[in-house]
Structure 1
Amino acid sequence: MAKDNQKILAIDDMPTNLALLGLALQDDYQIQIATSGARGLELAQDDPPDLILLDIMMPDMDGYETCRRLKLDPRLRDIPVVFITAMNDAEAETHGFALGAADYLTKPLNIEIARLRIRNLLERERLRRELQRREAALRLAASVFAHTHDSVVITDAENRIIDVNNAFSRMTGYSKDEVLGKNPSVLKSGRQSAEFYESMWCSLLGSGYWNGELWNRRKSGEVYAALTSISVVRDEHGRVHHYIGLSADITPLKNHELDLERIAHFDPLTGIPNRVLLADRLSQALAHTRRASNTMAVCYLDLDGFKPINDQFGHDVGDQLLIEISQRIKDCLRAGDTVARIGGDEFVLLLLDFNAAHECQAVLQRMLDRVAEPAAIGGHYVSVSASLGYTLFPADPADAETLLRHADQAMYTAKQGGKNRYHLFDREQDRLCSVRGSNLARIGSALRNGELALYFQPKVNMRSGRILGAEALIRWHHPERGLLLPAAFLPDIEGSDLAIAVGNWVLRQALVHAAQWQAAGLNIPLSVNIAPRHLLDADFVATLQAGFAQYPQLAANCLELEILETAALEDIGRVTGVMRECQKLGVSFALDDFGTGYSSLTYLKALPAETLKIDQSFIRDILADPEDLAIVAGIINLSAAFNRRVVAEGVESAAHGLLLLELGCDNAQGYGIARPMPAEQLSAWIAAWTPHQEWRLGPGRQTQPLRVG
């Protein structure tokens, strides 16, 4: 406490009595004057001084009463009071000290002695306050030491424990007596290396402070995480006197971090890395492969036949199968390899440190064989296979994202090639995929921009001339290439989601035209070609129902769906189910391009199609090729035997039609009847249509199909 901050309050009804003393003190202290006891009390209460000089003999309230009131105030009672009086008797002095006075100065004052005694009193008061402050600090420290939830450890210069608090015992399980004199290393868990502790002590002795995370072990053996700070306390000579360590148990926080880490980087079902961790592992694997100058394989694996198992036995069995397959794949990997599940039944593998491609292929084949083994799950024996695509780095010098895409493309090739096999990425195939991607984007744009249109090709009864209906055929009004036929763009969208979008557009447009013609008094049944992926889409029947709901006035039999025979046989059970659902709506079916597939009697009986359409490749050459003629005659006889209607495609001349009539096929379509035309031309064509004269005069007596050969 500096002198220039100390204040002395002088209370005297005749301040001139203290003039000499005030002059002697004013250079070292702040001097405040009060001319009565009451005023002195007010000033002291407003801003307590460090020392009070108090005259005894004063009117109204003498010095004794003033002192007594000062000592009653808790804020003022410790302030030293020095009586200044002319009375020089022991009784007055005793009375003053009894009231709590610190000293007596008698008049006349010896200025030098008074100044020294005042200085000593103020110094003693300063020391008293400092001691009081330190005692309060010690009490606070002791309270904090005893009651804090953080562990406190105090060690001596040799790092032997000399004191711990209750929180230490709660955290570690050790009592104070069990650790006194021991080194804190008794808590070490072994999780952190000797180098870690060397670095800690280097920092501690260098800067006098260290903080970080320690993995310690409780008395019970349980490992826990502690956020710890250690401070060095030195003596006045700079030597280490003791160390103080403060620790907080952060095990729940660390466990939560581990849970978040697990959620963020590992698949919750199988426990293997997920897509996020895969990206990090792939980056590291690429760097490792570059340094090692060898080969790594990036593989994309998709299970074959997993969805039917999920559908038949439920998701619990499916999940257990995925766990089993994940473990089998892990068992086939070597140290340093990675398997990650990136969704559903899709996995990515990173196989490192190959010197030749055949080494990789041996691992992949072993993996395929292991995956294909049956598994007993939930009382069921189930089995799947895998289609696996892979690419080799650095032979394929792409970045991480592109490598995954290449492996994915190769996987699809493996699946299309028969499944349960692996396939190496092919650059030419990638180029074709890129071209197809561009084409898909352009066709999607054409769909959105109204560049697609429907043309209609009539189907007729050649014998009677009756209009049977019309087939809706898609066309593309390409801004640069002109009018494009389906063969120029539909193959690009086959198997994609865009095929469904285009198919739905065709259905909607066909219903729009059918409704418009019906409103004009023209009932024309329309045929629409349906792609296999579109037919088996989960929403197909619902979409068809919604389309009919928009046009409730349409006749139930206004729509026929044409499906490829070969496509129907890929999943005959599902196709048959969809067909029967559509037939409940009044929709009929035709097997398109019949004769180019299996044409099995069993399949023909199973598929509930009302019509067979003979492929134009057979019709085109029946005038000159006896084999094609025999095939066509056989199909016509087959349709009669199964009570199916038959329509011949590709009738290009009157001669074609005449021969078909002789064979017993009256229904046809083709350029010899009409080319596909825009919707606005169909009504006029129907009004003007007459069959060829020779068809009307032809084999009218023929009532049964001819048998050829």
Structure 2
Amino acid sequence: MVTGNVGRNAVELRQEAERKLAARRLLLPDDEPSSLRLVHELQVHQIELEMQNEELVHVQSELEHALKRYEQLYENAPVGYLTLSADGIIGALNLTAATMFGAERAVLVGRRFDALVSDGDLPLWRAAMASMLRKECGGRQHVDLALRQSDGELIHAQVDFVRIAGQAPDAAILVTLTDIGERKRAEARMRLSASVFAHSYDGIMIVDLEGRIVDTNPAFTRITGYTRDEVVGQNPRILASGRHGTDFYAGMWASLHERDFWQGEIWNRRKTGETYAEKLAISAIRDDEGKLQQYVGISSDITSSKLHEAELDRIAHFDSLTGVPNRRLLADRLERAIAHARRAGKLLAVCYLDLDGFKPVNDLHGHAVGDELLVEITRRLQGQLRGDDTIARIGGDEFAILINDLSEANEVEVALERLLCAVATPVLVQGQELAVSASIGVTLYPTDDVDAEPLLRHADHAMYQAKEAGKNRFFLFDPDRDRKAQTHRLQLMRLREALNENEFVLHYQPKVDLVSGEVVGAEALIRWQHPERGLLMPGEFLASLAGSELQRGVGEWVIDSVLAQIVSWNAEGLALTASANVSAEHLLQPDFADRMQAALARHPAVDPRSLELEILESAALSDMNQAARVLERCRSMGLRVALDDFGTGYSSLTYFRTLPIDVLKIDRSFVCNMLGDKDDRGIVEIVVRLAEAFHCGVVAEGVETQAHGELLVGLGCRVAQGYGIARPMPPEELPSWVRAWQAAATRFLPGG
């Protein structure tokens, strides 16, 4: 009879067998014979064995499943397991351990464990093993080792081991391997962070959310002078220098709240009270959930670089001798002053000051004395200016001055008079009394509504005008005058282009003998064949040439063209005297006669007597004697000389008496009005008599009617020109006009 206790006890098993036998209807009454009773017992026992066998099969299945689960847990445990013999031979190991070593299990079993330990940790392992073997079973130890993988790479593991059976040398040791590589790396990072914190050259300060300093590094102490113990628990504002306002700190906190970061330059105060500049970066530190933990500030002392930067800025923007702004800083100040004047609706005076007589002082007494004088003059000028005005040295003895917030133009006059007085007061330098003065040019913005550079240029121009006017004074720039001058310059440029592009042409107005009807000559009159505006009369452009270098060039072109035209007419059989107008400035050129001779040489076919030079009296010759010498030489070449517009100038008789004249030309203003104005008629008669007295020819301009011609003949003037005879015409038309005139036999005879 089975009495085991596999799943149920014997009583329970017997009862269950009886129930099953009854179910099979095999139970016999109690009065059956003993043989039958024995059979019954055997049947019950058989059923019990069957049931017990079923129970054993079930238990064995569960044990097998449990063993498989254990093997899976063992093989795939998060730690490596292996067993060692007392002499360190690997007996068994799980899959995790094999994976940690990067090798097949079969390769590792039977190897010595210490062959897998790094050389550096081998003494540590052997000492731990020796200690373990001296202990009783159950004794535990652990050690951190660097173990060598199959490819030679090292892994860091925590090795826990315990004796599990027997005594040496038969004792077995169970070893657990835990990969601590990440922990080691984290520890290395922490050690590195701690090392960086401790050895960083930048100061580091950690602040909690309550605004209390919780830690600092040694560099912080070096920079601020505060030890860690002195500042832990304090608010960082103990470093504040007071040089930054609330807006500065509000911007800092706004950046930290919005971006978790702020960086900039800040002035703080050391423990000694000395202010210093630092470059500061503040970062907000958050945990993995994004919750704010603390703030870290990293700073570097940039005081020396800021001082160096300030020195470089001073050198770059301030005059080294006087200490006032230089030209570069002036440009910035001027831009700001213009913007301020525009916003405030005020006047800005831009002044250019140059010292009169400074160079002789510098040359006579030396540069050292000159430098001292400049420093003193600068100090005086500064004393006459307000705090928001600017004085800048822009050259050796040249200064620019900006006077702001003027309500009226006369305010600057008062200020400039003070400046002139300050400069003109003698200065005592090295025992010597020195005296200089100043010439100041000034322009007012926005009356002179231009940019910064033109403003300075205009003030400079005005300063030169002050010098030309006698020095020790100021001169106010006139924008209207400058605009006219600019227009004049532009027109001169255009006229020069016209000369170069052959846009000038000559028209000729005939001169005739009113009695004989003979054509005796023609006056060359310049015109401008403008490509866009058409034919322009002299009144539209000649005034722009007056006094310019270009006037000479145009004059030489006229003479050369007239000479060429004489040659052309002569070739057509037309022999005429042609006259060319010559300005006073052109005539007084030192080489006029030489160039006149060269022009004749270029046209050898021209008889010099065919060319007449008409001198414009209204040009007011500045050197009468020089003009006389030049004209005398021209006459010696065979040229004729006419005095144009006689009677209109302030010194007509002076001209006539001094200059070698062949012909007098009566101005058209007298001729046109002589029919109705007895005074003009009297002047015409006087000029005619004067010409007769000096044996000069006389030509009347402005003959417009038959009556004009008849009256002139009656007064004794036979040669004339004017619209009543012919208008100026292109040179190619003149020959046919001459033929038509002579064919008509036109005469201007009194009463005719």
With normalisation by structure 1, the TM-score equals: 0.51
Q: Which amino acid aligns with 2:338?
A: L
Shift of 1:273: 3.4
Correspondence for 2:701: 650
Alignment partner of 1:486 is 2:538: yes
Q: Is the 8 A contact 1:453 1:474 kept in 2?
A: yes
The C-alpha deviation readout for 1:539-567, integer Å capped at 9, x for no partner, is x999x99xx99x96689989998776665
Alignment of 1:13-92 (within 5 A): 23-24=72-73, 29=78, 51-52=100-101, 63-64=111-112, 68=115, 71=118
Alignment of 1:146-295 (within 5 A): 146=201, 151-152=202-203, 154=205, 163-165=217-219, 192-195=243-246, 199=250, 210-215=262-267, 226-230=278-282, 244-248=298-302, 250-251=305-306, 273-274=330-331, 277-289=333-345
Q: Is the 8 A contact 1:619 1:650 kept in 2?
A: yes
Distance 1:634 1:322, change over 3 A: farther
Q: Distance in 2 between matches of 1:24 and 1:697?
A: 150
Q: Which amino acid aligns with 2:414?
A: V
Alignment partner of 1:134 is 2:190: yes
Distance 1:269 1:348, change over 3 A: closer
Q: Distance in 1 between matches of 2:247 and 2:192?
A: 39
Q: Is the 8 A contact 1:589 1:609 kept in 2?
A: yes
Distance 1:239 1:553, change over 3 A: same
Q: Distance in 2 between matches of 1:688 and 1:30?
A: 134
Q: Which runs of 5+ in 1 are unaligned?
A: 1-17, 34-47, 109-113, 290-295, 699-709
Q: Distance in 1 between matches of 2:563 and 2:656?
A: 29
> What SS does the aligned partner of 1:71 have?
coil
Distance 1:97 1:368, change over 3 A: closer
The C-alpha deviation readout for 1:369-408, integer Å capped at 9, x for no partner, is 76997999xx9998786676768x8xx9x98779x99x98
Q: Distance in 2 between matches of 1:258 and 1:531?
A: 56
Q: Is the 8 A contact 2:669 2:702 kept in 1?
A: no
Q: Distance in 2 between matches of 1:541 and 1:139?
A: 91
Q: Distance in 1 between matches of 2:660 and 2:71?
A: 125
Correspondence for 2:17: none
Q: Distance in 1 between matches of 2:124 and 2:185?
A: 10
Correspondence for 1:518: 567
The C-alpha deviation readout for 1:480-500, integer Å capped at 9, x for no partner, is 9x865333x33885789xx88
Q: Is the 8 A contact 1:231 1:245 kept in 2?
A: no
Q: Match for 2:523 among 470, 479, 486?
A: 470
The C-alpha deviation readout for 1:322-350, integer Å capped at 9, x for no partner, is 99999998876656567899999998966
The C-alpha deviation readout for 1:292-341, integer Å capped at 9, x for no partner, is xxxx33567789999xx99xx9xxx9x99999999998876656567899
Q: Match for 2:508 among 456, 463, 470?
A: 456
Q: Select the structure of larger CA radius of gyration.
A: 2
Shift of 1:366: 3.7
With normalisation by structure 2, the TM-score equals: 0.49
Q: Match for 1:676 among 725, 728, 731?
A: 728
The C-alpha deviation readout for 1:417-451, integer Å capped at 9, x for no partner, is x978888999xx89x979x89x979x989969998
Q: Which amino acid aligns with 1:63?
A: R
Q: Distance in 2 between matches of 1:117 and 1:186?
A: 57
The Cα RMSD (Å) is: 8.1
Distance 1:654 1:590, change over 3 A: closer
Distance 1:288 1:129, change over 3 A: same
Q: Match for 2:405 among 330, 334, 352?
A: 352
Shift of 1:244: 3.9
Q: Which amino acid aligns with 2:342?
A: L
Distance 1:503 1:331, change over 3 A: farther
Alignment of 1:503-582 (within 5 A): 508=557, 511=560, 514-515=563-564, 518=567, 521=570, 527-528=580-581
Alignment partner of 1:628 is 2:695: no
> What SS does the aligned partner of 1:677 have?
coil
Q: Which runs of 5+ in 2 are unaligned?
A: 1-66, 83-96, 148-158, 166-171, 428-432
Q: Which amino acid aligns with 1:245?
A: S
The C-alpha deviation readout for 1:443-476, integer Å capped at 9, x for no partner, is 9899699986432335789999896763332256
Identity %: 23
Q: Is the 8 A contact 1:211 1:228 kept in 2?
A: yes
Distance 1:189 1:554, change over 3 A: farther
Correspondence for 2:6: none
Q: Distance in 2 between matches of 1:235 and 1:215?
A: 31
Shift of 1:212: 1.8
Q: Is the 8 A contact 1:618 1:631 kept in 2?
A: no
Shift of 1:136: 3.6
Q: Which amino acid aligns with 2:580?
A: S
How many residues get paired? 579
